[in-house]
Chain A
Amino acid sequence: MKFMDEYRDPEAVQKLSEAIHSTVTKPWTLMEICGGQTHAIVRFGLDELLPSQVTLLHGPGCPVCVTPVEKIDRAVAISRMPDVIFCSFGDMLRVPGTTGDLLQARAQGADVRVVYSPTDAVRIAQENPAREVVFFAVGFETTAPANAMAVITAYREEVPNFSMLVSHVLVPPAMEAILSSPQCRVQGFLAAGHVCAIMGTSEYHPIAERFRIPVVVTGFEPIDLLHGIYMCVKQLEEGRFEVENAYVRAVKEDGNVPAQQLVADVFEVTTRTWRGVGELPFSGLCLRAEYQQFDAEVRFDVGDTVAEEDSECRSGLVLQGLLNPPDCPAFGKRCTPEHPLGATMVSSEGACAAYYRYRRYAREAR
């Protein structure tokens, strides 16, 4: 397939793997930020093509995984209200809250629908003026522009029965939190290419300088990932700590400025709780005051939901790169995709799910 096969070419993969092997002389620990990158690495077995000195840690960039359990509970509670149509991206439906997940709510009679774009939810609201249509706006900077566009559309076209349950998070504060931890082992970052396509690369310069750590903007195909890893270990070997772009076909230094403007018009930065990690200041987005009429948490009173995580789940450590999924005592035993203890086992981008799906028996084999 054009535009994809060339980034999965076995010969090019082999060459990059050799280049990494001949560059690395010392042990290095890198973290890929995005869950999509984690899945590609594990699915294609890219980590097995690296020298044994290179360790990949898996980062917090799975929007499904970091959405706090209270938010899921609120989503389930809103979906169960009379006359509500609750719209969500598909992979949020299976994430367990304390009162079940959205798929169970649907089975019990809630009108929960999978949409592919937040503007589909606005259209559903226009088609169902007597119903309340709520969209579950989760994600990183990548999904924020489309969600902002949905709010602006609802505002301009006067769709009073549309609202959003917002749980947006931002990448740079999470990177800072990881680097500030005393147990941090990360020596280089593969930044999430899709996030940078929107936001550009400038916000990573202060992180690279302050923490003296290379940040390489990296894509999602095997060639992209190996190229990112190569540039990152090269910086480390040469003692540099810069922001570099290994995903130039998608990422410009300034990013997508109109998209950034759209996000800034609709959202403002707020403190957010990250599932498994805790509260991080300035780490998320909420609707600006002008658009509060579209805030589902303002519109629907679901009370204060206080949720307790399963004490056995260590997804917080996994999300910070402090625990490799198979090293969790519950992995594959008490915690499986059928009976997940935490979101990292549920989401299609969660690190635990990736290891379960592609690597479950690796340990016994070795």
Chain B
Amino acid sequence: MKPDMLQGCPVPPYAPDTVVQMAHGGGGRKMQRLIDEVFTSSWANPALLTRHDSALLSLPATCDRIAMTTDSYVVHPLFFSGGSIASLAVNGTVNDLAMGGARPLWLSAGFILEEGTEISTLHRIAAEMQECAARAGVAIVTGDTKVVERGHGDSVFVNTTGVGVLEHASVIGPSMVEPGDAVIVSGDLGRHGIAIMAAREGLVDACDVVSDCAPVAAPVMDLLAAGLDIHCMRDLTRGGLASAMVEIAEQAGVQIQLEEAKLQVTEAVRATCELLGFDPLFVANEGRFIVILPASQANTAQHILASHHVSMGASVAGTVTSKGPGRVSLLGRFGTERIVDMLSGEQLPRIC
């Protein structure tokens, strides 16, 4: 149909929408079509396809404990080197379940879409979420979309809630941490934060850093299957290694010493951090975690971690030295020691 033939006709012919409109959140056919074409078709699984108000799920017979977590994802830009809001939304929640020692099984996905967002962007996000879910062994079993007026959001916000099952009886958490434990860091630090920063600030050409965004449940399941006495795990997201360690030290009432020489940071991350005046210890990761367990089991744990690609760079990088006020220190390369503290706010690029 030529454009001039439409003139004077109040009803346009059917054409697929290219951008999100307010009506996509209105509960009518437009919304139904968006959900079917973008989300349900990408994630197809039995629980989702029943199209109930809620997904009905059966627990494995041997399981009497579940873990549940929720997280919201806002990131700009939506797609960056090594990941996207989709991979963050799946891996972030999967990893939080794994840190509790749970095998991740199911996710929900809630979207807040800004009017005007390209539908092709949603297709890409839905497809990437499915890829990541398959890789992590989880199914996205229920979802929701809401639309906000243009200017009231930043394209796409995603919330995922995850449920996992605990296949063991041990308690994993800061309260279990005790003097004599070793701290294993699962790989190099700071790649995700620097990749985002580079994409956001136009430093991409200068800085070839790929986000470490990845699911870490598989190595964690192997650690548990090996019967190791894991005291605590934590993924090193916002605030980086430093904030995670300080949180654990404070919650556990212990002093932890990290060794600078054992911490790995790639050259590109170090160079960008030097340039901007950032400390890689505080930069975000999305595929790194720490494991705290008795020192006698540290080598076995490191060996298991090293057999997985996502944690192949694991190293024993710290020790829980004593009970006391929760503090973390870093033993530097020159044999001097300094405090590692949480930041009071975000890291800001320096003047000179």
Residue numbers in A under 8 Å from B9 (CB-CB): none
Q: Is the CB of B339 within 8 A of A90?
A: no
Q: Is the CB of B332 within 8 A of A44?
A: yes
Q: Is the CB of A45 within 8 A of B351?
A: no
List A108-147 residues whose CB lies under 8 Å from chain B.
Answer: 114, 116, 138-140, 142-143
Q: Is the CB of B348 within 8 A of A94?
A: yes
Rounded to whole angstroms, the CA-CA distance of A49 and B336 in the bound complex is 8
Closest Cβ of chain B to A40, distance in Å, is 11
A187 adjacent to chain B (CB < 8 Å) = no
Q: Which of B71-79, B155-163, B270-278 contacts A (4 or more CB under 8 A)?
A: B270-278
A306 adjacent to chain B (CB < 8 Å) = no
Q: Is the CB of B334 within 8 A of A138?
A: no
Select from chain B the residue with minimum beta-carbon distance to A355: B339
Residue in A36, A48, A143, A348 whose CB lies within 8 Å of B336: A48
Closest Cβ of chain B to A143, distance in Å, is 5
Select from chain A the residue with minimum beta-carbon distance to B348: A90
List B315-352 residues whose CB lies under 8 Å from chain A.
Answer: 327, 332-339, 341, 343-345, 348-352
Range of interface residues on B (Cβ < 8 Å)? 20 to 34
Residue numbers in A under 8 Å from B201 (CB-CB): 116
From DSSP, what is the main secondary structure of chain B's interface residues? loop
Closest Cβ of chain B to A133, distance in Å, is 18
Select from chain B the residue with minimum beta-carbon distance to A138: B351
Q: Is the CB of A93 within 8 A of B348?
A: yes
Q: Is the CB of B348 within 8 A of A360?
A: no
Residue numbers in A under 8 Å from B334 (CB-CB): 10, 13-14, 44-46, 49, 222
How many chain A residues have a CB neighbour from B under 8 Å?
A: 43
Q: Is the CB of B351 within 8 A of A64?
A: yes
Given contacts A43-B338, A44-B332, is CB(A1)–CB(B348) below 8 Å? no
Q: Is the CB of B351 within 8 A of A358?
A: no
Select from chain B the residue with minimum beta-carbon distance to A226: B334
Contact with B along A2-13 (1 / 0, CB 8 A): 001000101001
Closest Cβ of chain A to B258, distance in Å, is 14
Closest Cβ of chain B to A78, distance in Å, is 19
Closest Cβ of chain A to B226, distance in Å, is 36
A238 adjacent to chain B (CB < 8 Å) = no
Residue numbers in A under 8 Å from B345 (CB-CB): 94, 103, 337
Given contacts A1-B267, A44-B332, is CB(A91)–CB(B338) below 8 Å? no
Residue numbers in B under 8 Å from A114 (CB-CB): 348-349
Given contacts A1-B267, A337-B344, is CB(A116)–CB(B336) below 8 Å? no
Rounded to whole angstroms, the CA-CA distance of A222 and B335 in the bound complex is 13
Select from chain B the residue with minimum beta-carbon distance to A346: B344
Q: Is the CB of A45 within 8 A of B344?
A: no
A42 adjacent to chain B (CB < 8 Å) = yes
Closest Cβ of chain B to A41, distance in Å, is 10
Rounded to whole angstroms, the CA-CA distance of A357 and B344 in the bound complex is 10
Residue numbers in B under 8 Å from A300 (CB-CB): none
Rounded to whole angstroms, the CA-CA distance of A10 and B352 in the bound complex is 26
Given contacts A10-B333, A36-B352, A63-B352, is CB(A358)–CB(B338) below 8 Å? yes
List B248-278 residues whose CB lies under 8 Å from chain A.
Answer: 267, 270-271, 274, 277
Given contacts A48-B336, A359-B339, is CB(A143)–CB(B352) below 8 Å? yes
Given contacts A4-B274, A45-B336, is CB(A361)–CB(B350) below 8 Å? no
Q: Is the CB of A358 within 8 A of B339?
A: yes
Closest Cβ of chain A to B246, distance in Å, is 12
Closest Cβ of chain A to B294, distance in Å, is 27
Binding site for A on B (CB under 8 A): 201, 267, 270-271, 274, 277, 327, 332-339, 341, 343-345, 348-352
**Nearest 6 A/B pairs, CB to CB:** A45-B336, A90-B348, A337-B344, A90-B349, A358-B338, A89-B351
CB-defined A-B contacts under 8 Å, sample of 20: A8-B333, A13-B334, A42-B338, A44-B334, A45-B332, A63-B351, A89-B351, A90-B349, A90-B351, A103-B345, A114-B349, A138-B351, A143-B351, A194-B352, A336-B344, A337-B343, A337-B345, A357-B341, A358-B339, A360-B341
